[in-house]
Amino acid sequence: MSRVEQAIAAAHDAGRSAFVGYLPVGFPDLQTSIDAAIALAQNGVDIIELGPPYSDPVMDGAVIQEATTLALAAGFKTADLFTALRAITAATDVPVLVMTYWNPVLQYGVDRYADDLLAAGGAGLITPDITPEVAGDWIAASERTGLDRVFLAAPTSSDERLELVVKSSTGFVYTVSTMGITGERTELDRAARTLVERLRAHGAVRACVGIGISTAEQIAGVSEYADGAIVGTALVRALRDGGIPALAEVTRSLASGTSSARSIPSN
């Protein structure tokens, strides 16, 4: 198993679902974003999702867009991502996935990006705007390097698309709870549960649910049927409003929701 798969398995062995926490690298500055990611690991996150800022973040809600815009304005460069990764992975064994839009990878060079990601201690990529059909170069690079490739599945995905996503993904399948941009919602769509069931039917071993999750109660609900929950906006808001102390407190609170009375499907 990959490090990401091992982290999910370890959470399951402890009787809970996995907690995946997202933060943008470079916000509010590079060093603070490094310290913040380490704080996630120290306060209950099983997998860190690190997002390089991007000029056209079509999937990101207002809070994350604001943070990434500030990071870009402060001069963030792709090289800063690898600097951050080296520092984070030197300080914690929690695996770090990079959630990146595809154009920066393409501009950097797919093989070069994969090699530098591996050298910096990264565990793989979450790629929200590229589908397996056109990701041949990345699939080849990930197989060569052993990096995980996490593709997205949406409630509107056809059975044929889900079959391809399950076949092409490693680590886990990023299960979109509802259509739209990231952010916080007072009630998660029932579509998430149905989508996970469909993914299981197509052979998915690990499915983590993201988009709209912002409370421990929502994480507990997701834990009844999925392998993990992904939280972004609530963590970014905590960092923005209260710095690392507030981030640590919110992380601990969210982590309390990972235990579920219902047993998680064994891997």
Bond preceding residue 28 cis, omega within 30 of 0: yes
Q: Are 36 and 236 in contact (CB under 8 A)?
A: no
Phi, psi at residue 62, to the nearest 5°?
-60, -40
Residue 13 appears among annotated catalytic residues: no
- Are 116 and 91 in contact by the 8 Å Cβ rule? The answer is no
Long-range contacts from 142-148, C-beta under 8 angstroms, 24+ separation: 142/114, 142/170, 144/111, 144/114, 145/114, 145/115, 145/117, 145/118, 146/2, 146/118, 147/114, 147/117, 147/118, 147/122, 147/123, 148/2, 148/3, 148/4, 148/5, 148/97, 148/123, 148/124
In terms of Cβ atoms closer than 10 Å to its own Cβ (0-12, 13-18, 19+), residue 255 is buried
Based on the residue annotation, tell me whether 49 is a catalytic residue of this protein.
yes
Q: Which residues pair with 145 in a beta bridge?
A: none
Place of tokens 């995980």: 148
Catalytic site residue from 46, 49, 80, 148: 49
Measured N-to-C along each axis, helices 110-119 and 78-91 cross at an angle, to the nearest 10 degrees, of: 30
Going from the C-alpha of 187 to that of each of 96, 163, 190, 239, 240, the distances in angstroms are 28, 28, 9, 23, 24
The catalytically annotated residue of 5, 46, 60, 227 is 60
Q: Which residues are catalytic?
A: 49, 60
